Structure 1
Amino acid sequence: MHIGMWGSAIIVSVIISWLMYRYLAPDSWKEWTRAGVLQAFIIAFYAEMYGFPLTIYFLARFFGLDLAWGDGGNLWAQLFGTPTAHIIAMLLGYALVFYGATLVAEGWRRIHLARRSAVLMTDGIYAHVRHPQYSGLFLIVFGEGVVHWPTIVSVLAFPIIVLAYTFLARKEESHMLALFGNEYRAYQQRVPMFIPRIQSLDLRSFR
């Protein structure tokens, strides 16, 4: 049972927040406002996962659904009446989280190589998406907060996070256009922003 494990909620929130700032550190106060949306999501999400199942309480209280607080408060287990639903959702969700974390880490590694050399990074994963770190972030939030453990907060926050980081990506691209001009314009036309073309993906992206 996850309910009432407030110590775990605090520990996990701190660890996830540290990883977020490690790989997606904001560069300005405006970027901190976007990071604040993600930070609020993390705190609210893990407080509900390990602390109090607010979503189940809300659905039972205001919509009259016959939901118990079994299986640690996972909504899928309650809706389908079996912990197997939770296990399936967990496996699918963590697969998305793992892939998303790989994109974030690989994007971070390559962009720091480019910054040291003062060149435009277009190799590896950057040959498939222009913002792999944000693509990875979206997969992590979706996999954990919608697929694995959906809550009212996480489902509502997901599109807000996508919108906030889309605006941030566009701002960053304006800066890149100022730095690299036509080279970056050609890159924009050649490579999608967040969603790769399926036929272009292969293992060489991570070499």
Structure 2
Amino acid sequence: MNQAAFINVALLALFGLQHSLMARKWFKEKVNLPKPRRTYALATVAILILIARCWQPMPELAWQFQGAVAIGLYIVWTLGLQLILFGAMSINARELLGLAEPRPAEFHTPFLYTIVRHPIYLGAIFVLWSTPAMTHGRLLFASAMTLYILIGIQFEERDLERVFGDVYRVYKMRVPMLIPSLRRPLPLPPPPR
């Protein structure tokens, strides 16, 4: 591994460590920050700024497409961005961004969440990979972030099962994680009152 790749992997590992540790319930209880969601969001922004400032160029091309394929990739990228935005807005973007502290947990499934359980992550994967010109640096970033998303989903779903119990387990059985099903999804039962 060359020096640029080593530095970039270290930066991505730092992001994964911060983002995963601060999201865990045991961390929140142990550290006991006055505004945990806001602190989490600000720490994430700080790490992303560090990545942007310290990222080492790896400009060699892994692939490059032009014409109709490039246009198709831009369309998928735009769809990914829309999934991120609409997914965040439908579950309260203010809380997600740390502008408001979370309200007590309540299970609900806005429209996108009836198609896949994680539309924001699906959108992020689309944005990461839908580029006509994939450099080695971007390939490293896309690969690491996709791996982080797939691992993070496991932790997140475990936490959601702990909070919502059988309601979330039924939801998992009926709605696919990331890849929409061609079958019509089964209706979800109303949450218990």
Cα offset, 1:102, TM superposition: 1.1
- State how far apart, in whole Å, the 1-side matches of 2:70 and 2:52 are: 19
Q: Where does residue 28 of structure 2 map in the other structure?
A: none
Q: Where does residue 7 of structure 2 map in the other structure?
A: none
1:63-117 deviation line (CA, Å, top 9, x unaligned) = xxxxxxxxxxxx63xxxxxxxx524343112101111011111110111189657
- Give the TM-score of the pair, scaled to structure 1: 0.55
Please say if residues 38 and 161 of structure 1, whose CA atoms lie closer than 8 Å, have aligned partners that are also in contact: no
- Please list every run of at least 4 consecutive aligned residues from structure 1 whose deviation after the TM superposition is greater than 6 angstroms: 30-33
**Closer/same/farther in 2, CA of residues 159 and 198 from structure 1, 3 Å limit:** farther
2:125 is the alignment partner of 1:138: yes
Q: Where does residue 115 of structure 2 map in the other structure?
A: 128
**Closer/same/farther in 2, CA of residues 187 and 38 from structure 1, 3 Å limit:** farther
Q: Where does residue 55 of structure 1 map in the other structure?
A: 60
CA RMSD of aligned residues (A): 3.7
Q: Where does residue 91 of structure 1 map in the other structure?
A: 71
Please say if residues 128 and 200 of structure 1, whose CA atoms lie closer than 8 Å, have aligned partners that are also in contact: no
User: What amino acid maps onto 2:119 in structure 1?
Assistant: P
Cα offset, 1:42, TM superposition: 10
1:142-181 deviation line (CA, Å, top 9, x unaligned) = 112xxx1111122233232111011111111111111110
- State how far apart, in whole Å, the 2-side matches of 1:39 and 1:131 are: 27
SS at match of 1:150: strand
- Give the TM-score of the pair, scaled to structure 2: 0.59
Where do residues 18-167 of structure 1 align in structure 2 (5 Å cutoff)?
29=22, 40=51, 54-55=59-60, 76=64, 86-112=66-92, 118-144=105-131, 148-167=132-151
Number of corresponding residues: 141
Q: Which has the higher helix share?
A: 1
2:166 is the alignment partner of 1:182: yes
Q: Which runs of 5+ in 1 are unaligned?
A: 1-25, 49-53, 60-74, 77-84, 202-207
Q: Which runs of 5+ in 2 are unaligned?
A: 1-18, 24-39, 96-101, 186-193
Cα offset, 1:188, TM superposition: 0.6
Please say if residues 41 and 157 of structure 1, whose CA atoms lie closer than 8 Å, have aligned partners that are also in contact: no
Identity among equivalent pairs (%): 23
2:180 is the alignment partner of 1:193: no
- State how far apart, in whole Å, the 1-side matches of 2:85 and 2:103 are: 17
**Closer/same/farther in 2, CA of residues 89 and 191 from structure 1, 3 Å limit:** same
Where do residues 2-21 of structure 1 align in structure 2 (5 Å cutoff)?
none
- State how far apart, in whole Å, the 1-side matches of 2:137 and 2:53 are: 10
